[in-house]
């Protein structure tokens, strides 16, 4: 395993303490239990374990990774494509065409990543052969149980008698593991209470009566300014209501919840990652298992009922030993047992300026990996346009049949006018705003 080359692809200088411990502790053909906080790097940790088990010559499904959400499946796919180069990887999840997945299984992938319901469906329809799977990963297992996927996971495990190694990850401690996991005497790596991996967060409160709550949120967003922030709500209606408020004031933002189309959800996360917007308004769907780095502040517009959910939301900031700010918006009479009583109250000036919008905007390109187009091709294409410099191009993400590139907002319209209908590697492409 060429660890340095893998880390270079991921733009990481070295493994953290937890990831190093995982590599040192793992034993082939043994069950493995990894407990570590949200955002500590569990995906890379188990991806490196998987790499050790893959056989290049096998043209069969060798590894199955079961995850609670489609967003987590796509995140793991991105990491594994850089870790397990040369091995076919396929994602299967609700909201994706089963026909596309079924066709992808005809040439058996080495690794399948999927949500419980969709994996169960493919096994029932015999769309792939599970009889050669030797490694099963149950990632964010506690979240899968919370979402009620026990029956589907039980069904899947019962249909794979060839499993030699079960890898289970969780961000919370469980008293006992359900019998259906068939995990016995696992090797345990527990970093839940490791002080080095405890998020370094500062909690502040904003007190406002119910009729002033939206106004308080707007003031808080303006005060945080251009830092990256996630606003958490308990309900979709609250997300949409806040979105309408910000839209009326021309504050660029995105929303993320289960009522949106999958494509819209993926695009919202992509634009948040590439700095095309600073504000993401969401439900608890974004609290776990998503690739959202460099979040400066968490705002709880509505507080969750359970402390675990509060902790997982806060785990979106202060990732990988960084620091972050957490704000809770409370009505004067509200008391939550898990909120410290002695926390400072945020104060606001009577007048405030609206925050500046992000300097980048995201453009869509109608070609991707399957068209043999990569990031270097896109950079070269854009730099050939008059007036475009390297610093005007931000993060690029290339999908199977499309690509998304962050560019300086002031040049977005210019690039569309000059580049739309031009060719990248001989292929005519459409370019537009997202």
- Quote the domain boundaries for residue 155: 3-194
**70 and 171 housed in the same domain:** yes
**370 and 425 housed in the same domain:** yes
Where does residue 33 rank: exposed (0-12), middle (13-18), buried (19+ CB within 10 A)? buried
> Is residue 80 situated within a structural domain?
yes
pLDDT at position 291, please?
A: 63
The tokens describing 6, both together, are: 């893998």
For residue 120, CA distances in Å to 59, 147, 151, 162 come to 22, 16, 10, 17
**Domain boundary residue among 144, 162, 194?**
194
Which CATH number belongs to the domain containing residue 180 in this structure?
3.40.50.300
The tokens describing 402, both together, are: 């499309």
pLDDT at position 213, please?
A: 94
| Chain center to CA of 300 | 19
**82 and 147 housed in the same domain:** yes
pTM as predicted: 0.73
Cβ–Cβ under 8 Å, residues 399 and 393:
no
Nearest to 171 by CA among 72, 53, 83, 24: 72
Return the half-sphere exposure (C-beta side, CA atoms, 13 A cut-off) of residue 142. 19
pLDDT at position 198, please?
A: 55
Nearest to 187 by CA among 17, 20, 22: 22
> Is residue 355 situated within a structural domain?
no
CB atoms within 10 A of CB 164: 13
Which CATH number belongs to the domain containing residue 379 in this structure?
3.30.70.330
> If DSSP codes are grouped into helix, strand and coil, which group holds residue 277?
coil
The tokens describing 40, both together, are: 């500590």
Cβ–Cβ under 8 Å, residues 277 and 253:
yes
Cβ–Cβ under 8 Å, residues 41 and 194:
no
Helix (H) and strand (E) counts for the chain?
Answer: 14, 19
**136 and 242 housed in the same domain:** no
**Domain boundary residue among 289, 314, 330?**
330
Tokens 């009583």 belong to: 341
pLDDT of 293-348, one tens digit each?
Answer: 678 899 999 999 888 888 878 877 755 445 689 999 999 988 899 898 889 999 88
Q: pLDDT by residue for the chain (434 residues), tens digit each?
A: 688 888 888 888 899 999 999 999 999 889 999 998 877 889 999 999 999 999 877 789 999 999 998 888 988 998 999 999 889 999 999 878 889 999 999 999 999 999 999 999 999 999 999 999 999 999 999 888 888 899 999 999 999 999 999 999 998 888 789 999 999 889 999 988 765 555 577 899 999 999 999 999 999 999 999 999 999 999 999 999 999 999 999 999 999 998 888 889 889 999 999 999 999 999 988 776 666 767 889 999 999 988 888 887 887 775 544 568 999 999 998 889 989 888 999 988 778 889 998 999 999 999 998 899 999 999 999 999 999 999 999 999 998 889 999 999 999 999 999 998 999 998 999 999 98
Between CA 382 and CA 414 the distance in angstroms is 11
């Amino acid at each position: 395993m060429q660890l340095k080359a893998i880390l270079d692809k991921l733009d990481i200088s070295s493994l953290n303490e937890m990831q190093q411990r995982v590599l040192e502790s793992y034993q082939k053909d043994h069950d493995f239990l990894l407990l570590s906080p949200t955002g500590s790097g569990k995906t890379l940790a188990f991806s490196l374990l998987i790499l050790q088990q893959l056989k290049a010559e096998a043209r069969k499904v060798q590894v199955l990774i079961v995850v609670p959400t489609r967003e987590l499946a796509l995140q793991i796919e991105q990491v594994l494509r850089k870790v397990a180069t040369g091995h076919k990887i396929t994602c299967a999840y609700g909201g994706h065409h089963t026909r596309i997945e079924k066709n992808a299984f005809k040439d058996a992938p080495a690794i399948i990543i999927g949500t419980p319901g969709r994996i169960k469906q493919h096994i029932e329809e015999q769309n792939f052969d599970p009889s050669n799977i030797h490694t099963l990963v149950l990632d964010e297992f506690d979240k899968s149980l919370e979402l009620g996927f026990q029956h589907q996971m039980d069904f899947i495990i019962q249909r794979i008698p060839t499993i030699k190694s079960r890898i289970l990850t969780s961000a919370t401690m469980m008293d006992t593991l359900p019998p259906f996991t068939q995990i016995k005497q696992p090797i345990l790596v527990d970093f839940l209470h490791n002080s080095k991996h405890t998020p370094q967060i500062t909690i502040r409160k904003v007190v406002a009566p119910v009729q002033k709550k939206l106004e308080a949120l707007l003031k808080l967003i303006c005060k945080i300014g251009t830092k990256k922030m996630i606003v958490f709500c308990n309900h979709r209606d609250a997300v949409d209501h806040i979105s309408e408020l910000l839209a009326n004031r021309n504050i660029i933002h995105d929303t993320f919840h289960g009522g949106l189309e999958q494509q819209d959800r993926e695009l919202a996360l992509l634009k948040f990652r590439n700095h095309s917007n600073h504000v993401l308004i969401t439900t608890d769907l974004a609290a776990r298992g998503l690739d959202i780095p460099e979040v400066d502040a968490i705002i709880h517009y509505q507080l969750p009922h359970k402390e675990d959910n509060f902790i997982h939301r806060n785990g979106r900031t202060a990732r990988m030993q960084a620091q972050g700010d957490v704000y809770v918006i409370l009505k004067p009479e509200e008391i939550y047992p898990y909120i410290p009583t002695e926390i400072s109250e945020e104060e606001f000036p009577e007048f405030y300026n609206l925050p500046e919008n992000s300097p980048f905007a995201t453009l869509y390109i109608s070609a991707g990996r399957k068209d043999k187009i990569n990031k270097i091709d896109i950079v070269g294409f854009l730099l050939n346009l008059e007036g475009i410099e390297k610093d005007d191009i931000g993060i690029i993400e290339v999908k199977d049949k499309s690509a998304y590139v962050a560019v300086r907002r002031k040049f977005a319209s210019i690039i569309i006018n000059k580049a739309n209908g031009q060719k990248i590697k001989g292929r005519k492409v459409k370019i537009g705003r997202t």
